[in-house]
């Protein structure tokens, strides 16, 4: 990564770094998309912090919940259900993520499924946590938090006449959404029609921090990513093996070699034995993997350490086992 570029970008901001557990700054970054292009866009700018807390007692690796120091710390928050069909039609904006901001798990983002007093339950296992480790709680992103009321998008009556946002489900399927003129967020196969007058509202479909979405532009445009840039490393858990969209967490471009990802990936000389990093290039996915020494293109083996992940970009990773992946620490980390 060009560290000097990141320092210059942050120093040029009119907004000061905020006082937080890790350095933060509010950014608004433009991402250009050509007409008809499908681009993987990374969600790396966060929604505001709702509360800060500390882990009350040690937690064994693999546990799915922890207790925060204090009484009824999370009592004001109730996560909306994403079970079954609700994943594609949640009833509210109440999606939450916890981000650990101190200790060896700094930057780890976990989706919350339930709160009970001062106890939070998350998706997948936690790493070992020690008492006193700090965390912050935020609302997670949704279609409507990224593009409120369809702002900046071309609406239409079908996906053929509108900008289309595709979100990867927990089962590895890309579901296509658009903003239907006069109605709101709709799933491609469940839009307002005379024969379907009451389709479900899709405004609160989760697009989680650290992940991303596929954007197909009906006409050339620039979309804007807005939110809090967190000055810690970005770390997420790849829960399944069907694929996860992973965002470039930096407000500058980064090469695969400089990203720090290599130390977390399953590596193998053969692509069949390694985690696959898939980039959208010219409308098709091109696979890369790490052979134990370098990043290479999976077809032909061309050396690809200099493969660039641009600002606002994302890629699809198909992993061999459940694992955490993290990027190198960022410049304004505490």
Q: In terms of domains, do 237 and 333 share one?
A: yes
Q: Tell whether 33 and 162 lie within a shared domain.
A: yes
Domain co-membership, 192 together with 245: no
Closest by CA to 217, choosing from 154, 280, 279, is 154
Residues 8 and 86 in one domain: no
Q: Is the pLDDT of residue 10 over 50?
A: no
Of 1, 2, 8, 45, whose CA–CA distance to 25 is shortest?
A: 45
Give the rounded percent of residues in the chain with a pLDDT score beyond 90. Answer: 81
Confidence of residue 239 (pLDDT cuts 50, 70, 90): confident
> Based on the domain organization, do 23 and 136 belong to the same domain?
no
Overall average pLDDT of the 215-234 stretch: 91
Question: What DSSP string describes 185-245?
Answer: EEETTB--BTTBS-PPP-TT-B--TT-EEEEE-SS-EEEEEEEEEE-S--EEEE-SSS-EE
Segment 35-64 shows an average pLDDT of 96
Average pLDDT for residues 148-167, to the nearest whole number?
97
Rounded CA-CA distance 77/61 in Å is 25
Please indicate, yes or no, whether residues 34 and 156 belong to a single structural domain of this protein: yes
Instruction: Summarize the confidence of residues 233-256 as an average pLDDT.
Output: 88
Question: Within this chain, do residues 37 and 152 fall inside the same structural domain, yes or no?
Answer: yes
- pLDDT for position 167: 97
Question: Which residues face 237 on adjacent strands?
Answer: 324
State which residues form the domain around 286: 1-27+232-334
For range 234-252, the mean pLDDT: 88
> Quick check: 148 pLDDT over 60?
yes
Query: Quick one: pLDDT at residue 46?
Result: 96
More confident residue, 81 or 1: 81
User: According to the model, what pLDDT value does residue 315 have?
Assistant: 97
- pLDDT for 324 equals 86
pLDDT band at residue 2 using 50, 70 and 90 as cut-offs: very low
Task: Give the tens place of pLDDT for each residue, 263-292.
Answer: 999 999 999 999 999 999 988 999 999 999
Residues 6+ apart with CB under 8 A from 183: 191, 192, 199
Split into its structural domains, the chain has a count of: 3
Task: Express as a percent the part of the chain with pLDDT over 70.
Answer: 92
334 and 237 together in one domain: yes
The pLDDT of residue 53 is 97
Angstrom distance (rounded) from CA 329 to CA 311 = 17
Q: What local confidence, expressed as pLDDT, does residue 47 receive?
A: 97
Q: Whole-model pTM above 0.75? A: yes
Render 204-218 in DSSP notation, one character per residue.
Answer: T-B--TT-EEEEE-S
Q: What is the pLDDT of residue 19?
A: 36
For 290-320, what is each residue's pLDDT tens digit?
999 999 999 999 999 999 999 999 999 999 9
Task: State residue 3's pLDDT score.
Answer: 40
What does the pLDDT read at residue 23? 59
- Is residue 96 scored above 60 in pLDDT? yes
Are the beta carbons of 317 and 266 closer than 8 angstroms? no
Q: What's the average model confidence in pLDDT over 104-111?
A: 93
Long-range contacts of 9-13 (CB under 8 A, 24+ apart): 9/251, 9/252, 10/251, 10/331, 10/332
Same domain? For 16 and 38 the reply is: no
Please tell me whether residues 299 and 333 are part of one structural domain: yes
Q: Could you tell me if 302 and 315 lie in one domain?
A: yes
User: Of 227, 257, 278, which one is at a domain's C-terminal end?
Assistant: 227
């Amino acid at each position: 990564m060009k560290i000097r570029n990141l320092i210059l970008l942050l120093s040029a901001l009119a907004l000061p770094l905020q006082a937080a557990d890790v350095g933060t700054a509010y950014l608004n970054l433009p991402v250009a998309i050509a007409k008809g292009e499908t681009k993987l866009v990374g969600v790396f700018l966060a929604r505001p912090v709702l509360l800060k807390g500390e882990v009350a007692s040690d937690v064994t690796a693999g546990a799915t919940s922890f207790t925060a120091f204090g009484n009824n710390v999370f009592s004001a928050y109730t996560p909306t259900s994403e079970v079954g069909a609700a994943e594609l039609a949640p009833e509210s904006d109440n999606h939450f993520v916890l981000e650990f901001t101190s200790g060896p798990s700094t930057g780890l983002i976990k989706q919350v499924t339930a709160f009970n007093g001062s106890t939070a339950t998350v998706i997948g296992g936690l790493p070992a946590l020690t008492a006193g480790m700090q965390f912050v709680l935020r609302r997670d992103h949704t279609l409507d938090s990224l593009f409120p009321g369809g702002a900046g998008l071309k609406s239409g009556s079908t996906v053929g006449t509108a900008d289309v946002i595709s979100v990867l489900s927990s089962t590895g399927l890309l579901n296509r959404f658009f903003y239907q003129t006069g109605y709101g967020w709709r799933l491609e196969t469940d839009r307002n029609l005379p024969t379907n007058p009451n389709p479900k509202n899709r405004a609160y479909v989760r697009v989680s921090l650290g992940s991303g979405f596929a954007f197909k532009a009906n006409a050339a445009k620039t979309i804007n990513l807005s939110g809090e840039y967190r000055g810690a490393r970005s770390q997420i858990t790849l829960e399944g093996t069907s694929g996860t969209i992973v965002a470039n967490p930096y407000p500058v471009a980064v090469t695969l070699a400089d990203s720090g990802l290599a130390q977390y990936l399953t590596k193998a000389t053969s692509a069949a034995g390694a985690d696959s990093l898939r980039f959208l290039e010219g409308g098709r996915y091109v696979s890369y993997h790490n052979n134990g020494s370098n990043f290479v293109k999976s077809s032909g083996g061309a050396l690809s350490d200099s493969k660039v992940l641009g600002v606002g970009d994302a890629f699809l990773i198909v992993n061999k086992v459940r694992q955490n992946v993290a990027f190198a620490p960022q410049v304004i980390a505490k």
